[in-house]
Amino acid sequence: MITTVCSFVVACRQNTETAGDNQSVSAILFSADSLAKNIAILASDEFQGRMPFTEGETKTINYLKAQFAAVGAEPGNGDSYFQDVPMVNISTKAAPTMQVQGPKGSFQLKGYDDYVIWTNKADPAITLDKAELVFAGYGVVAPEYNWNDYAGLDVKGKVVLVLVNDPGYSSGDSTLFKGKTMTYYGRWTYKFEEAARQGAKGCLIVHNTEAASYPFSVVQNNWNGSRLQLDNRGKNVPNCDVIGWVSEPTANKLLSAAGLSMALLDKAKQRGFKSVPLNVYLSTSMQVKATYDKSHNVIAKIPGSTRPDEYVIYSAHWDHLGVGKPDETGDSIYNGAIDNASATAGLIELARAFNNMQPKPERTIVFLAVTAEEQGLWGSAYYALNPVYPLAKTVANINMDGLNAFDKTKDIIVVGSGQSELEDILNEEARKNGRYITVETHPEAGYYYRSDHFNFAKVGVPALYTETGVDVEGKGKEYGEKLADEYREKHYHRPSDEYDPKTWTLAGAIEDLKLMFQVGKRLAAGDQLPQWKQGSEFKAIRDKSLATKQQQ
């Protein structure tokens, strides 16, 4: 039996304390027993890996609805706990080869080995017929950094070849962008979006293991697979016909076909680089099958007592990978206990805590369990594009993606350090509890752009994302780093990510939930709105949103 861990107390107790007119935070109870129960159920085989569009989704969202209601959280979308998320499942079958024609000769590239392509379009057939290839540097248009790889370049109907990450990382120049720390402009998703905005027919990213932070084998997992997208029928959402990656050796072949060398890639790191047509032409095709359906976000709320029309949103994704390839034990259910049944269960704990506050929080607290994170952050993307609560009145987003299943840590890791004032608030609250914040060890990997908070950032809402610390109380950093490495290597996105009552104390999860509660409680009561910091690529979006609000 798991021992109950109480947050904000030295010894576990049930009584409440008051300090003036406010209920003492030490009286708010977080229960490891309750957290464990909800994780165990959400991550059970019965929920079949919580894949969107399956029976696992139906069971998950109905369970969350019941649990939010049980802890006193009201429906968050009118009289409903659900927000429909119209989506399309796009399955592709690409031709096995790509024909290349250039001034230095013609040859074929082999799909999967040399390149991986897919599409975000639902057209039944996609074709490249001698589409011109243009090298567009990093494929970045960033006015705040005085950088435009598409300046003076017409890529309409053409395929752009671009580099992964951004110039600051690859050049070693700390004055370019954010140096080694990846910005959004370095993410592969941005490259595809910008190429589409420029009218390109296709976009191929040159893979580099160090710059991408994963090997080409990870990219190869996308070959002839299926991907969920938002259902954008009737909307003017630009998409390239063909998107994907090429290996570095393949990029070398393409440049050689143009009579050029890989030295061109180094020149792209320098300010003032001009993108160049390659006089190389590509031909290939793919067949597409599109299936339309609806998934669901789950939304609950604790109404604010004095400013109910201003909002603090906690988020976590409820979905995982469903039933897939069996592992070495024959297990084919990807239970996703840590990723992300843990934080989804954490939303329920937070809802119960805020409902038990006396007096109630001044601003409305929203609990948003989103769908399809594993497929591309689509549930949060849909909410950001179709917000239930006005974005200009949304104070902040606090996102949780995986809680600490084991012992307490002295530290908590801020992902995307330097983005917003939320990390300053987190730091102050952590220090009050004898803890400290640290920054992520691999900022070049761009993890700030890989979870659901990112979609709030894209529309200007300050967003906080943390990871489990490694400085384990009584055991140190080496022990904590070993735990983190073991999870990544043995359990992340594998069927073995299961709830284990024998080893999961959840003491660390409770401590981190306590900290997230304190940050949210402060945001719910404060008059000052947290801001993006200077240098954040999202600051201008928020400033424009707030200026528009003031004019209304």
Q: Tens digit of pLDDT for each residue in 341-381?
A: 999 999 999 999 999 999 999 999 999 999 999 988 999 99
Give 467-524 pLDDT, tens digit per residue. 999 999 999 999 999 999 999 889 999 999 999 999 999 999 999 999 999 999 999 9
**Mean pLDDT for all residues in the chain:** 91
Quote the pLDDT of residue 23. 54
CA dist 510 and 551 (Å) reads: 43
CA dist 105 and 280 (Å) reads: 10
Over residues 330-342, the mean pLDDT reads 97
With contact defined as beta carbons under 8 Å apart, do 41 and 47 qualify? yes
Over residues 545-551, the mean pLDDT reads 61
Q: Report the candidate in 410, 408, 359, 425 with the shortest Cα–Cα distance to residue 7.
A: 408
Quote the pLDDT of residue 434. 96
CA dist 128 and 524 (Å) reads: 53
- Assign 221 a pLDDT band (cuts: 50, 70, 90): confident
315: which residues sit within 8 A by CB, 6+ positions away?
347, 368, 369, 370, 380, 397, 398, 399, 400, 452, 453, 456
Quote the pLDDT of residue 122. 94
Q: Burial code of 398-413, b = ≥16 C-beta within 10 A, e = fewer?
A: bbbbbbbbbbbbbbbb
CA dist 83 and 414 (Å) reads: 29
Query: For 26-52, what is the HEC assignment?
Result: HHCCCCHHHHHHHHHHHCCHHHHHHCC
- Assign 552 a pLDDT band (cuts: 50, 70, 90): low
Is pLDDT at 114 greater than 60 in this prediction?
Answer: yes
Task: Tell me which of 13-22, 88-97, 278-287, 420-429 is least confident.
Answer: 13-22
Q: Looking at residue 186, what DSSP letter applies?
A: G
Q: Report the candidate in 325, 125, 295, 138 with the shortest Cα–Cα distance to residue 221.
A: 325
Task: Tell me which of 15-29, 59-73, 328-342, 502-516 is least confident.
Answer: 15-29
- Assign 17 a pLDDT band (cuts: 50, 70, 90): very low
Over residues 433-445, the mean pLDDT reads 90
Place of tokens 């039933």: 323
Quote the pLDDT of residue 441. 80
Quote the pLDDT of residue 28. 67
SS3 210: helix
CA dist 129 and 131 (Å) reads: 5
Is pLDDT at 161 greater than 70 in this prediction?
Answer: yes
Q: Is the dihedral of CA 223, 88, 76, 541 positive or negative?
A: positive
Look up residue 249 and give its two tokens: 């050796």
- The DSSP bridge partners found for residue 315 are 368, 399
- Considering the chain, what percentage of its residues have pLDDT values greater than 90? 80
Angle between the 507-525 and 343-355 helix axes, to the nearest 10 degrees? 50
* Omega of the bond leading into 249 within 30 degrees of 0 (cis): no
